[in-house]
């Protein structure tokens, strides 16, 4: 089993959602086997969502013109049910960007 710091470092370097989900699966396995503490779970969860929001924003930014930091911020604030559906997320981000521009 990977040391927690090593797993966190690798998770912070993921480039897509598939890699992120693989890290989450590995972490979940470690939790089930008792290798990680509650505090480590909280830390991993925080990093997981930070990276998931970033990966989703990068996917969306390929289809929408806009400032990548704005897109990351919008995706981070999106409701969970919207994040699970790429089309809904895309429409949500487009709407929020229009609102930012005042249209």
Task: Dump pLDDT digits (tens) for 10-63.
Answer: 999 999 999 999 999 999 999 999 999 999 999 999 999 999 999 999 999 888
| Structure tokens belonging to residue 78 | 């999106």
Task: Dump pLDDT digits (tens) for 61-99.
Answer: 888 888 888 999 999 999 999 998 999 999 999 999 998
Whole-model pTM: value is 0.85
Q: How far is 25 from 89, CA to CA, in rounded Å?
A: 24
Q: How far is 69 from 40, CA to CA, in rounded Å?
A: 28
Q: Give me the half-sphere count of Cα atoms (radius 13 Å) on the Cβ side of residue 4.
A: 14
């Amino acid at each position: 089993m990977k040391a927690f710091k090593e797993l966190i470092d690798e998770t912070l370097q993921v480039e897509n959602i598939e890699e992120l989900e693989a890290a989450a699966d590995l972490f979940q396995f470690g939790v089930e086997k008792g290798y990680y503490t509650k505090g480590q779970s909280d830390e991993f969860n925080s990093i997981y969502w930070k990276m998931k929001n970033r990966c989703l924003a990068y996917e969306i930014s390929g289809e929408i013109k806009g400032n990548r930091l704005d897109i990351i911020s919008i995706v981070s604030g999106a409701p969970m049910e919207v994040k699970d559906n790429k089309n809904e997320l895309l429409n949500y981000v487009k709407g929020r960007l229009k609102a930012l521009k005042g249209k």
